[in-house]
Amino acid sequence: MFRGEPWVMSRHSFLGSTLQAFTRAVSKALLSEHAATQPGLLQQLDPRVRVIGILALVISVILCRRLEAIAALLLIAITLAVASRVSLMSLAKRVFLVILGFTGLIALPALFLTPGEPLFTLRALHLAISVQGMRTAALLVLRVETAATLTTVLVLSTAWTHILKALRSLRLPAEVVTMLAMTHRYVFLLIEAANQMFESRKSRTVGVLSNTEQRSMTARTAGVLLSKSIELSHEVYLAMLSRGFRGEVRLLTDFRLQPRDYVGLTAFIFTSFLAVWIGR
């Protein structure tokens, strides 16, 4: 490990790429918090209205069976993102490309396994793509893309504490809200702890680590990080209980419905019912 030469680490090394991934994760979180404070369309509505409205749209996406109706809902989701000053580039990186690649792989067998009218035949492989298979695959991909876009727009346009309080005000069990709050908090605590551990190791390394040594070091770090996270979570939870935490999310500002909130909620519900009726 020590070879008597200056410490060198390629930016393409495993350790270097891990540190860059931690940095990108934190920067994305900061950008999300920044988008939630912008004077956009959704930001002007009560968080409870946003949660109920987006949930209604997601349910309508699940119930729709026509591609045209789901495509219209996807267009509405993109319009909401633009009106709420959510970066379309951020949506493309977080949702469009990721969902397209992941869901596309899942939907790929449907092209060949769904019986129906042949659309394209691969004679060399003795496979045929049917019209019904193409429609099934497109329906799956478009449905997941739309639902993921809607929920991402909600998260990017609403502070996480406001989402939790809105869910609690809608009678979601306190245990579930506590789990969501703690999970969100510990994701960043783990990222920070892991980043500090990797930087500490990086500053004490002389020479060039082989790929095997880097993977071994990363595995040991993951084990230590898991042990630290379990101990830290227990200590923090006991500290929260000793200070009176019982799962309720308390903010300095109270939620109050304004006339525009009723208009927005009506628009969400009407759009959802209209999409389900058209997409039958």
Higher pLDDT: 120 or 54? It is: 54
CB distance 57 to 270 below 8 Å:
no
Q: Which amino acid is at 268?
A: F
CB distance 181 to 168 below 8 Å:
no
pLDDT band for 52, please (50, 70, 90 cuts). Answer: very high
Q: Which of 9-18, 106-115, 153-162 has the lowest mean pLDDT?
A: 9-18
Q: Cα dihedral sign for 166, 260, 158, 274?
A: positive
| pLDDT score at 203 | 72
191 token code pair: 């990222």
Is residue 120 helix, strand or coil?
strand
Reply yes or no on whether the pLDDT at 46 is more than 60. Answer: yes
- Residue (of 176, 148, 144) closest to 163 by Cα position: 176
| pLDDT score at 1 | 41
| pLDDT score at 58 | 93
- Residue (of 25, 164, 155) closest to 77 by Cα position: 155
Mean pLDDT of 192-208: 71
pLDDT band for 127, please (50, 70, 90 cuts). Answer: low
196 token code pair: 């500090």
- Residue (of 224, 166, 231) closest to 194 by Cα position: 224
29 token code pair: 């979180």
Reply yes or no on whether the pLDDT at 151 is more than 80. Answer: yes
Pick the most confident of 15-29, 153-167, 174-188.
Answer: 153-167
Q: Which of 24-38, 165-179, 206-220, 244-258 has the lowest mean pLDDT?
A: 24-38
User: Which run of H or of E encompasses 270?
Assistant: helix 259-278
Query: CA-CA distance, 219 to 194, in Å (whole number)?
Result: 12
pLDDT band for 228, please (50, 70, 90 cuts). Answer: confident
